[in-house]
Structures are given as C-alpha cells and as structure tokens.
Amino acid sequence: MRIPGQHGFTLVEVMISLLVFWLGLLGVALYTASGLKTSSSNQARATSVYAASLAMEPILYQTRADCLAAALGTFPRTVTSDNGKDSYTVSLDHANDGSGMQIAKTNAVTVLSGTWVSPVTITLGVPYTGSDNKVYTAYPSYTVVLENYTAACNA
C-alpha cells in the first residue's frame, strides 16, 4: 500500500526482485559447472586420441602387407603425452582389409598378410578417465594403403 506523495519500492517488491536475481545467478552457475565438466571430458578424450596417433605414426609408413603385419604385432604400446604427464596404453582393437575380412583382433594378427586386400583399416582402443572418474575407451581408426615393393620394411 502506498502513501500518497511517497515514491519507491516496497520491501516485498525488493525481496521478490532479489529472489529472482539470485535464482538467475544460480542457474548460470550450474550451467557453467556443467560446461566445464564436459570440456574436461572432451580434453581427456582428445589427449587419448592424440596418444593413439603417436602410436600409429610409425606404423602408417609400413605399406607392405608383411611389414604392416609385423608392426601390428607390437601392440599394446604405452605412449606418453603432455611432456610425460599422461600415459596411455594403446591397444589394437581390430583391423579389416579392403574386402571387409577381419585380419587382426585384440592385439594379434589373425590372418596371413599374403591374403590381405588394400586398403587396411586399423582401429585402436585407448582407455581414458573422464571427468566423472569413470574409464572410457576411444576407438580412433586409421587407413593404410598397401603397396607392392621388394625393399626391406621401413624402420
């Protein structure tokens, strides 16, 4: 109730406006915390996929089937990234040749390299810890086009 000649807000109006203001701030804080958690999980996954690319780099140069088979036999590999801060165990999940035949599974080549059809798609498994402290696995894939040559396998 207003008294004639007075201007301004009543105490009830001020309290309601403050309540609305604080509820808005609470919503923004919760939204920001959720975004930071998602960002942290994405960073962990990106770092694990980077570790997989480090493990695959020397293998991508093995373009002869027998050399590639030997290189795939070196999994699982431990790779460090972020100047030694993070360490990941990268494993061979599976590999398929161009005909769709599975030629490797769970860190082992299962089909003789002489029968492989180009290209070969290699899928690795890289476990990483998410922001919720659960362990997840990223599965990046790489493709190698096979070539015929007689030189020794690349080092």
pLDDT in tens, 34-82: 777 667 677 888 888 998 999 998 888 888 888 899 999 999 999 988 7
Report yes or no on 155 lying in a domain: no
Report yes or no on 2 lying in a domain: no
Report yes or no on 1 lying in a domain: no
Number of folded domains in the chain? 1
Residue 97 has pLDDT above 60, yes or no: yes
Report yes or no on 58 lying in a domain: yes
Alpha helices in the chain (DSSP H): 11-56, 65-72
Is 70 in contact with 154 (CB distance < 8 Å)? no
Report yes or no on 22 lying in a domain: yes
Q: pTM of this prediction? A: 0.73
Report yes or no on 118 lying in a domain: yes
Across 90-98, average pLDDT = 95
Angle subtended at Cα 44 by Cα 41 and Cα 46, rounded to the nearest 5 degrees: 105
Q: What percent of the chain has pLDDT over 90?
A: 46
Report yes or no on 120 lying in a domain: yes
Report yes or no on 101 lying in a domain: yes
- Domain span holding position 19: 11-144
Q: Give residue-wise pLDDT tens across range 3-14.
A: 677 777 888 888
| CA dihedral for 15, 20, 23, 24, sign (positive or negative) | negative
